[in-house]
């Protein structure tokens, strides 16, 4: 199966390139980038020398991509807004699309405008898209040819929380998510605030009080709770290249008992290859998941406040982006879920 990455020069795009070159079933044949058009992959990503398969970056038009009958699946590693401008003609041409941007993660065009500041370019596709979090949703090309790959922060929050809300073990009120991201989460666009001297030995909150990912998190949690969920989400940038570390504080429904949440997690994730449930009191670390498609998490009870404290970590560029998109493709194509991933 031949695949194409549109926007292969960003951090998420580069991870997709690296992972797909090692995929046993998918063949990466086209990588696009306006800024690197014509350049050899091995010159731009030296770590891939010797396994770059002679690929060069190109900048074909949307029409050329739609008309290329050899390409079956397209990964869009583009900013929101731009991604939709490629997704719609590709879908209309009968292609399968996995979008890593936020353009199709929300069901409501009203929420999209509220959080992204513009009208959605293709509202009719919002309810047709599948939210591509494999641990929580069954994915199939038969349902839709469009997969909306989740954001990095939402993944780290939804996987631990969704089954607990669905099972009514925690209250939907008073959820607090305190999250830390590596600098790569802000993308490769040049910015003064992301210069080495600005970020080294420096950590700060950002995007408060309504980071864009909040809309996605609340919408998905509300689906599992079957009620409207509002939470407090506090993202921070930390001086590390990559990784997400989330600490979630939630009110228990009834007396707190750690075994209740662990039983729920084990029932939900016992057969999921990329979920690692750590023992209570063992706190996941970003360094342990770097370069993997895993999400590690644990929980403990705080009887003093009648709360559970849940901690999760993931690699924001793999489980939070490129790896999760490939995991979704594997399931839709009928490949083993772990194909090309670790």
- Which sequence positions are flagged as catalytic? 152
Cis peptide before 319 (omega within 30 of 0): no
C-alpha 2/C-alpha 30 separation (Å) is 8
Pairing of strands 175-181, 204-205: unpaired
For residue 242, the cross-strand partners are none
Q: Count how many residues are written for the chain.
A: 342
CB 155 within 8 A of CB 320: yes
CB 78 within 8 A of CB 84: no
Extract long-range pairs of 226-233: CB within 8 Å, 24+ residues apart: 227/172, 228/172, 229/165, 229/172, 229/175, 230/173, 231/175, 231/176, 231/177, 232/175, 232/176, 232/177, 233/153, 233/157, 233/177, 233/179
Q: Is 70 exposed, middle or buried (0-12, 13-18, 19+ CB in 10 A)?
A: exposed
CB atoms within 10 A of CB 267: 10
């Amino acid at each position: 199966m031949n695949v194409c990455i549109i926007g292969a020069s960003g951090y998420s795009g580069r991870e997709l390139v690296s992972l797909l070159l090692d995929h046993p079933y998918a063949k990466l044949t086209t990588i696009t980038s306006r800024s690197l058009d014509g350049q050899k992959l091995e010159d731009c990503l030296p770590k891939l020398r010797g396994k770059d398969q002679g690929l060069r970056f190109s900048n074909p038009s949307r029409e050329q991509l739609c008309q290329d009958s050899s390409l079956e699946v397209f990964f869009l590693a583009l900013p929101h807004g731009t991604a939709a401008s490629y997704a719609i003609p590709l879908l209309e041409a009968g292609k399968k699309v996995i979008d890593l941007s936020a353009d199709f993660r929300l069901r409501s065009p009203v929420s999209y405008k509220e959080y992204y500041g513009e009208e959605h370019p293709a509202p009719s596709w919002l309810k047709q898209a599948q939210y591509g979090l494999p641990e929580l949703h069954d994915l199939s090309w038969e349902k839709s040819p469009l997969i909306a790959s989740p954001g990095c922060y939402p993944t780290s929050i939804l996987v631990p929380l969704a089954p607990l809300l669905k099972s009514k073990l925690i209250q939907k009120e008073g959820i607090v998510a305190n999250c830390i991201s590596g600098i790569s989460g802000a993308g490769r666009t040049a910015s003064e605030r992301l210069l080495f001297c600005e970020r080294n030995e420096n950590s700060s909150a950002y995007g408060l009080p309504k980071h864009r990912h909040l809309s996605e998190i609340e919408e998905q949690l509300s689906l599992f709770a079957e009620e409207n969920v509002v939470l407090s989400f506090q993202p921070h940038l930390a001086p590390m290249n990559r990784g997400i570390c989330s600490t979630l504080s939630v009110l228990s429904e009834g007396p707190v008992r750690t075994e209740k949440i662990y039983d729920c997690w084990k029932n939900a994730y016992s057969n999921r290859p990329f979920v690692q449930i750590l023992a209570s009191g063992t706190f996941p670390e970003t360094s342990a998941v770097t370069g993997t498609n895993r999400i590690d998490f644990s929980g403990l009870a705080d009887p003093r406040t009648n709360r559970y404290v849940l901690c999760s970590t993931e690699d924001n560029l793999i489980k939070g982006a490129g790896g999760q998109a490939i995991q979704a493709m594997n399931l839709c194509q009928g490949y083993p879920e772990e194909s090309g991933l670790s």
